Amino acid sequence: MAGTRIIATGSHVPDRVVTNVDLEELMDTSDEWIQQRTGVKERRWVPEGREIGGSDLAKVATERALKKAELEEGDIDAIIYATLSPDHMFPGAACFLQQKLGLKGIAALDIRNQCSGFLYGLSIADAWIRTGAYERVLLVGAEVHSTGLDISTRGRDVSVIFGDGAGAVLLGPTDKNGDGVLGVTLGADGRYAKDLWVDVPGSIYHPQCDPAHMTEGRQYPQMEGSKVFKHAVVKMPGAVRRVLGDAGLGTEDIRLLIPHQANLRITEMVQQGLRLRDDQVFSNIHKYGNTTAASIPLALDEALSEGRLERGDLLVLAAFGAGFTWGAAAIRY
């Protein structure tokens, strides 16, 4: 098999819109600060008091992708599910999604690489398809952050950024040389693991989470925002140049770059670093905030529905996040 192509995409976000003004009611923040520092105007959060997991959002995103592809659930041979907010500690969210899709027996794998999870998953899906291990792979990124955020002033630097959502991409084989996934590059640096992390529950503690942890707020994400920012604006352009160079291509060949939607200022600096025109870069962070592993497939689905990409165009994806982890992919769509 020559390679792996994108068959179809789908996405889904909860109906509940949470604006920056809504957040002003919960914490000491302002619409102006959030828009200036992040570009986020609103995000979607699952409704309170309902047990809705990322796998529920991923199910709808998958159904939309299947409909576009004129395929059925039974045509999926394996599931790869990227998330940092699994429905439960274990088993993996891919198993819950498999059950919700009514699929029995097929492989179901969780990827825990945060904002870079979709690209790590893409690399695995590409290898599976190229080697013939599986023919059609469902790759999803899905997150429910809102149930795990500190929405008091203590957590404002983190909680104003994140939103809930899911994106699904159906991948399959292509015989055409130079079509589909041209390359994926991945990286990580665990020295920075605690610069963006959630401490508890953690199996290194006895018990894994206790009331003292909760009082200290250690169940909430902690982030050294400016450190993450500084690494993101170097690592993402670097990964893009590398994946393009390996494929014998340059930035001028890019039709559309979809960077992980972390912060509009990060996207703008990545664009400047790569000297790309506005029409070569996609952003939808103003509507959804940072949806970590879901952000790239959600943005890809939206970019396609807006006609920003035609078959044969060069699509480049780039991500950076907790771990630190990062990556980029070049895809002849």
| Interacting residues with ligand UT7 (CB under 6 A) | 29, 33-34, 37-38, 115, 156-157, 160-161, 225-226, 228-229, 232, 262-263, 266, 290, 292, 321
Minimum CB distance to ligand UT7 smaller for 8 or for 298: 298
- Which distant-in-sequence residues (6+ apart) come within 8 Å of 86 by Cβ? 54, 92, 93, 110, 112
Query: How far apart are CB 95 and ligand UT7 at their closest, in Å?
Result: 25
The residue written with tokens 């429905």 in the block is 87
What is the SS3 string spanning 181-231? Answer: EEEEEEEECHHHHHHEECCCCCCCCCCCCCHHHHHHCCCCCEECHHHHHHH
| CB 217, CB 158: distance < 8 Å | no
Minimum CB distance to ligand UT7 smaller for 200 or for 262: 262
Amino acid identity, residue 133? A
Helix axis angle for 54-69 and 93-100, nearest 10°, is 50
Residue nearest to ligand UT7 (CB): 225
- Which distant-in-sequence residues (6+ apart) come within 8 Å of 250 by Cβ? 244
Helices of type H across 88-201: 93-100, 117-131, 156-159
Minimum CB distance to ligand UT7 smaller for 147 or for 305: 147
Give whole-number Cα distances, 136 to 125, 127, 128, 172, 212, in Å. 9, 12, 9, 5, 47
Query: How far apart are CB 226 and ligand UT7 at their closest, in Å?
Result: 4
Phi, psi angles (nearest 5°) of residue 291:
-105, 25
Amino acid identity, residue 15? D
Minimum CB distance to ligand UT7 smaller for 96 or for 324: 324
Of the residues 20, 145, 260, 263, only one is catalytic, namely 260
Minimum CB distance to ligand UT7 smaller for 58 or for 232: 232
260 is catalytic: yes
Of the residues 95, 113, 115, 231, only one is catalytic, namely 115
Query: How far apart are CB 116 and ligand UT7 at their closest, in Å?
Result: 9
Report how far Cα 145 is from the mean position of its chain's Cα atoms.
12
Query: How far apart are CB 65 and ligand UT7 at their closest, in Å?
Result: 24
With H, G, I as helix, E, B as strand and everything else as coil, classify residue 172.
strand
88 is catalytic: no
Amino acid identity, residue 3? G
- Which distant-in-sequence residues (6+ apart) come within 8 Å of 128 by Cβ? 78, 134, 137
Minimum CB distance to ligand UT7 smaller for 107 or for 149: 149
Query: How far apart are CB 43 and ligand UT7 at their closest, in Å?
Result: 13
Query: How far apart are CB 153 and ligand UT7 at their closest, in Å?
Result: 8
Query: Active-site residues: which are they?
Result: 115, 260, 290
